[in-house]
Structure 1
Amino acid sequence: MKDFLELVKARQSDRAYDMTRDVEPEKLERVLEAARLAPSACNAQPWKFVAITDKELSKEVGKATAGLGMNKFAKDAPVQILVVEESANISSLLGGKVKDKHFPLIDVGIAAAHITLAAESEGLGSCILGWFDENKIKSLTGIPAGKRLLLVITIGYSAKPKRTKLRKEKSKVISFNKY
Structure 2
Amino acid sequence: MKDKEYYHFLELVAARQSDRVYDKTREVEPEKLERILEAARLAPSACNAQPWKFVVITDKELAVKVGKATAGLGMNKFAKDAPVHILVVEESANITSLLGGKVKNKHFPLIDLGIATAHISLAAESEGLGSCILGWFDEKEIKKLTGIPDGKRLLLDIVIGYPGKEKRKKIRKQAEKVISYNKY
Which band: TM-score by shorter chain? over 0.9
Unaligned runs of 5+ in 2: 1-5
Structure 2 partner of 1:81: 86
Structure 2 partner of 1:22: 27
Structure 1 partner of 2:66: 61
Structure 2 partner of 1:171: 176
User: Superposition RMSD on alpha carbons, in Å?
Assistant: 0.3
Structure 1 ranges of 4+ moved more than 3 A: none
Counterpart-to-counterpart distance in 1, 2:100 and 2:128: 38
Aligned amino acid, residue 50 of structure 1: V
Return the offset for 1:68: 1.2
Instruction: Give the % identical residues.
Output: 82
- Counterpart secondary structure, 1:145: coil
Structure 2 partner of 1:133: 138
Counterpart-to-counterpart distance in 1, 2:74 and 2:109: 30
Q: Deviations over 1:22-64 (max 9, x none)?
A: 0000000000000000000000000000110000000000000
Structure 1 partner of 2:148: 143
Does 2:6 correspond to 1:6? Answer: no
Does 2:121 correspond to 1:116? Answer: yes
Matches within 5 A, 1:25-104: 25-104=30-109
Counterpart-to-counterpart distance in 1, 2:145 and 2:77: 18
Counterpart-to-counterpart distance in 1, 2:107 and 2:64: 32
Unaligned runs of 5+ in 1: none
Return the offset for 1:15: 0.2
Counterpart-to-counterpart distance in 1, 2:31 and 2:55: 16
Aligned match of 2:162 in 144, 157, 161?
Answer: 157
Structure 1 partner of 2:3: none
Aligned amino acid, residue 172 of structure 2: R
Counterpart-to-counterpart distance in 2, 1:67 and 1:78: 19
Aligned amino acid, residue 57 of structure 1: L
- Counterpart secondary structure, 2:158: strand
Aligned amino acid, residue 159 of structure 1: G
TM-score of the superposed pair, with normalisation by structure 1: 1.00
* Number of equivalenced pairs: 179
Aligned amino acid, residue 132 of structure 1: F
TM-score of the superposed pair, with normalisation by structure 2: 0.97
